[in-house]
Structure 1
Amino acid sequence: MRVWRQLTDLVARHGSAALITVHDVKGSAPREVGAHMVVRPDGAFHGTIGGGQLELRMLDIAREMLAAGRGPARIVDQALGPDLGQCCGGRVKILIETFDGRDLEDLAPLVSAEAEGGLFEVECRMEEGRVRREIGSAVGDDRWAGWHETQGEVRTPVLIFGAGHVGRALVLSLAPLPFSVRWLDDRENAFPSHLPENARAVRLRDPEAEIAQAGPSSFILVMTHDHPLDMAITAAALKRGFSYVGLIGSATKRARFEKRFRELGLSDETIRSLVSPIGLPGITDKNPAVIAASVTAQLLQVREHGSPAQNLSPPAASNDT
């Protein structure tokens, strides 16, 4: 979630909003330092600090603070076990702030930094009961006398070639997750009229150029309407050596492609790195939504650990025939 964009949008639409942040954690807790929730005046919210009684109590406090109008920030020191009956057993400090139209100018630099992508450093301190934030300007300055926040998010780039049923389901599955999706298809009118915020639809004209221009940390998924096109894209991606190159298809399709890859001079080790069929082992349902969920879980695994499960286990059933 892009916290500062969400916060400013809610202030602009509803007149005010609250920001709930996990400020400090000792021991076991549902979420890490820096987890956020953004709360509307009517109590609706985006994000989570872990659910359970902790979240319910903080939402109640945020709603009370919004009802009272823009005021000082509040830090709630909360033991999870004895106070809330949560089994985590740790202790958290939760920072709750309220904002209205008077804060939009101060929030604008945070919105801009967030939109650029990646992480950025923010220095914070209390001034007259409210939190003042400066982007990196006071780092290392002992006179600042506040605390440090790391804001933003790192989104892994994903190139999805193909806007068929599985491609569409996969784009929706990736929408709330830390991925930046470049969705490619060579057919006119292949894409839906509305896309998730983290996805961009592109008319595919030069597949090899797309692969050549992709960043080295990109994940590649190939699922076009045309097998020769699948072949060309997959071969180019394997030559680049991305950490994840996935090809939708059956074991028969993979075998045929492997033969052609060898003719093109790809090594056996490179060919073995291809993930095909795509998705987690053991999930055999061919419903596009199920395939998308399985592939999404696999991408999250590779993002965190660097290895897809399918490379560690026998292949699952085919994605198509």
Structure 2
Amino acid sequence: MGGESRSRIRLSDVNGSLSEALRTAFAADEAAALVTLAEVKGSTPREAGAAMVVSERSVTGTIGGGTIEWDAIAIARGMLAGVVDREVVRRALGPDLGQCCGGHVTIVVERATAESLTMLVAREDEERSRLRPITIYGAGHVGRALARALDPLPFRTRIVDARGTEIDAVTASRVDRIVGSCTAVAESAEPGGGHVVLTHSHALDSLVCASLLERGDFMYLGLIGSATKRATFVRAFRDLDISEERIARLVCPIGGTAVRDKRPAVIAALVAAEIVATFLGGGD
């Protein structure tokens, strides 16, 4: 990447919420530091705003890994052991750290306070409200695997199925679970989202896809199945007078055709990558 960038702290995308990590440290009466990549110039491992919460025993979040991160963690823990409350560190990644990246970074390390926690909660809530919604229809093996694959990614993901026993088997911690009608959820979905149709019934798959295609206000609509299934569904959608332009936006088979592996976890990984490319490919 090039140029110069400054940004606000971003929601943690590695191993948990920064605010939760800080809250946990405070509850254990443990000091913690907030480490923020405040400014970047040129090529750097992470964007401005990437942040970590560092305590003596744990690190949540990342500013890019490697030497730059290890140095920042050491500085943070040294600060926690002393009396200084804030330090600004500037590094040229090549000359100072021996890294191949040619960029420069400014890192702010500061002792975390109650005000830090309030700020993190507010900013995480704001960023979460901007995340794109992804709806998984069907909580069978592939649906549950996809929920797990999307769980750590920057989306607001939910999974819906009328079968409560299947929803109960969903283990993704950040994914909302809905026991109810897939068609009703599709009809009321907010615009601009992504939808992956994986129900146990081809008839239900068709109803959900038709509802979403008739609306046409989605960014991604994926349907599990073969080219034969797609052709059958396309004929039905044409009978409903759905436009060819909208029908063409239906992704089926999902996950591409380069990898022909039908294991749920593999399908989920391929579809998650497809969703990431659709929503994040142009930058955020």
Q: TM-score, normalised to structure 1's length?
A: 0.77
Matching of residue 56 in structure 1 with residue 70 in structure 2 = yes
Deviations 1:148-195 (A, max 9, x none): xxxx67311001001111111111111111111111011121124664
Residue 253 of structure 1 is matched in structure 2 by 229
Note the residue ranges of structure 1 that are not aligned, 5 or more in a row.
119-151, 307-321
| Structure 2: distance between partners of 1:275 and 1:292 | 14
Does the 8 Å contact 1:80/1:86 carry over to 2?
A: yes
**TM alignment of 1:103-252, pairs within 5 A:** 103-104=113-114, 106-107=115-116, 109-114=118-123, 116-118=125-127, 154-192=130-168, 195-205=171-181, 207-241=182-216, 242-252=218-228
1:9 to 21, 24, 31: 24
Does the 8 Å contact 1:157/1:218 carry over to 2?
A: yes
Aligned residue type for 1:113: A
Instruction: Go from structure 1 to structure 2 and tell me whether the alpha carbon gap of 1:162 and 1:13 turns closer, same or farther (over 3 Å shift).
Output: farther
Does the 8 Å contact 2:93/2:102 carry over to 1?
A: yes
Instruction: Go from structure 1 to structure 2 and tell me whether the alpha carbon gap of 1:117 and 1:171 turns closer, same or farther (over 3 Å shift).
Output: farther
Does the 8 Å contact 2:167/2:179 carry over to 1?
A: no
Aligned residue type for 2:212: A
Aligned residue type for 1:283: V
Aligned residue type for 1:266: I
Shift of 1:271: 1.2
| Structure 1: distance between partners of 2:28 and 2:274 | 37
When structure 1 is superposed on structure 2, of 230-239 and 194-203 the one drifting more is 194-203
Instruction: Go from structure 1 to structure 2 and tell me whether the alpha carbon gap of 1:305 and 1:72 turns closer, same or farther (over 3 Å shift).
Output: closer
Shift of 1:115: 5.4
| Structure 2: distance between partners of 1:178 and 1:231 | 28
Deviations 1:50-101 (A, max 9, x none): 11111111111112222336x41111111211111001122111111222xx
Aligned residue type for 2:61: G
Shift of 1:112: 4.5
1:181 aligned counterpart, secondary structure: strand
Does the 8 Å contact 1:160/1:221 carry over to 2?
A: yes
Note the residue ranges of structure 2 that are not aligned, 5 or more in a row.
1-11
Give the greater-gyration-radius structure (CA).
1
Does the 8 Å contact 2:131/2:155 carry over to 1?
A: yes
Shift of 1:15: 2.1
Shift of 1:22: 0.4
Matching of residue 66 in structure 1 with residue 42 in structure 2 = no
1:85 to 98, 112, 115: 98
| Structure 2: distance between partners of 1:243 and 1:230 | 18
Shift of 1:197: 4.2
Residue 314 of structure 1 is matched in structure 2 by none
How many residue pairs match? The answer is 266
What is the RMSD computed on CA atoms of the aligned residues?
2.0
Aligned residue type for 2:228: T
**Structure ranking higher on relative contact order (CA contacts 8 Å, 6+ apart):** 2
Shift of 1:111: 4.7
Deviations 1:127-163 (A, max 9, x none): xxxxxxxxxxxxxxxxxxxxxxxxx673110010011
1:296 to 254, 269, 272: 272
Does the 8 Å contact 1:4/1:114 carry over to 2?
A: no
Aligned residue type for 1:68: G
1:297 aligned counterpart, secondary structure: helix
| Structure 2: distance between partners of 1:211 and 1:229 | 11
| Structure 2: distance between partners of 1:169 and 1:91 | 39
Residue 75 of structure 1 is matched in structure 2 by 88
Does the 8 Å contact 2:30/2:55 carry over to 1?
A: no
The percentage of counterpart residues that share the same residue type is 43
2:239 to 242, 253, 263: 263
